[in-house]
Amino acid sequence: NAGVMQNPRHLVRRRGQEARLRCSPMKGHSHVYWYRQLPEEGLKFMVYLQKENIIDESGMPKERFSAEFPKEGPSILRIQQVVRGDSAAYFCASSRTSGTYNEQFFGPGTRLTVL
Amino acid sequence: KQEVTQIPAALSVPEGENLVLNCSFTDSAIYNLQWFRQDPGKGLTSLLLIQSSQREQTSGRLNASLDKSSGRSTLYIAASQPGDSATYLCAVDGANSKLTFGKGITLSVRP
């Protein structure tokens, strides 16, 4: 059973370009979460999605960031017009359910570097 | 707002020592607490999940306890090995499915 997959593992963008990060959840998991880990900081929640629905986006910056989890295909975290402050590791997690036994499994992350 | 604290930020011990990693959180209204391991430049590996109704969970040399009323969890590692060297993260699910993380404890086990 393959784990959570993320690609690319490393992504380099110049300021002003767009970054697209992909996440394929574990088989049988319909809940997807995105977290960001800035240098010297802890992981911070960004957004929680189920298929075709955004459940909670309270951690997403108001501008330039968007996320989707379509009926078919991976979840996408999109960052438009990237700035140097967007450089971070972005982790995706998935779970089978929500509730008290909501064990989240994490992917290897995408390390975004903005030049 | 939930806050999770892990102190100290770093710990160095000789091989074979039993050790305890601490985690505290400010809001006791949680669904569960998870302990993770993160190796440098890698993703997170889930070690143990304790539901809010449970007191402890065990997996191999690892034992995690939860005291919800006092807002504390500990991760006990028995007979530490150099391969245990990593950053250990504590995270709580505050009944809204989003995890709040501590900053982690970087453990170094010396041969």
DSSP per-residue codes, chain A: ----EEE-SEEEE-TT--EEEEEEPPTT--EEEEEEE-TTS-EEEEEEEETTEEEE-TTS-SSSEEEE--SSS-EEEEE-S--GGG-EEEEEEEES--STT---EE---EEEEE-
DSSP per residue, B29-64 = --SEEEEEEE-TTS-EEEEEEEETT-SEEEETTEEE
- Contact call for residues B33 and B50 (beta carbons, < 8 A): yes
How confident is the model at residue B17, as a pLDDT?
Answer: 96
Band of pLDDT at residue A1, cut at 50, 70 and 90 = low
CB contact (8 A) between residue A108 and residue B42 = yes
User: Which of B31, B41, B99 is nearest residue A100 as measured by Cβ atoms?
Assistant: B31
- A4 min Cα distance to partner chain B (Å): 10
Which residues of chain B lie closer than 8 angstroms to A104, CB-CB? 34, 46, 99
Residue A99 has pLDDT above 80, yes or no: no
Residue A1's CB: how many other CB atoms inside 10 A?
Answer: 5
Q: Which residue of B has its CA nearest to A47?
A: B98
- B41 min Cα distance to partner chain A (Å): 9
- Phi and psi of A66, rounded to 5°? -150, 160
Nearest C-alpha neighbor of B59 from the set B50, B68, B71: B50
How confident is the model at residue B39, as a pLDDT?
Answer: 94
Band of pLDDT at residue A100, cut at 50, 70 and 90 = low
Residue A25 has pLDDT above 60, yes or no: yes
Chain mean pLDDT for chain A: 93
pLDDT digits (tens, 9 = 90+) for B2-27: 999 999 999 999 999 999 999 999 99
Mutate to test the interface with B, among A104, A105, A111 (most CBs of B within 10 A): A104
Report the alpha-carbon distance of residue B83 to residue B99 in Å, rounded: 26
pLDDT digits (tens, 9 = 90+) for B32-69: 999 999 998 889 999 999 998 999 999 999 999 999 99
How confident is the model at residue A41, as a pLDDT?
Answer: 83
pLDDT digits (tens, 9 = 90+) for B71-107: 999 999 999 999 999 999 999 998 778 899 999 999 9
Band of pLDDT at residue B109, cut at 50, 70 and 90 = very high
Q: What is the largest CA-CA distance in chain A?
A: 42
Partner A contacted by B88 (CB < 8 A): no
Q: Which of residues 34-63 of B touch A (CB under 8 A)?
A: 34, 36, 41-46, 49, 51-53
Residue A74 pairs in a beta bridge with none
Q: What percent of chain A has pLDDT over 90?
A: 82
Strands A19-24 and A5-7: antiparallel
- Give the CA distances from residue B75 to residues A4, B68, B88, in Å, rounded to whole numbers and listed in that order: 25, 14, 9
CB contact (8 A) between residue B101 and residue A59 = no
CB contact (8 A) between residue B43 and residue A33 = no
Question: In the A/B pair of chains, how many CB contacts fall below 8 A?
Answer: 68
- Give the CA distances from residue A29 to residues A47, A109, B4, B59, in Å, rounded to whole numbers and listed in that order: 16, 18, 27, 23
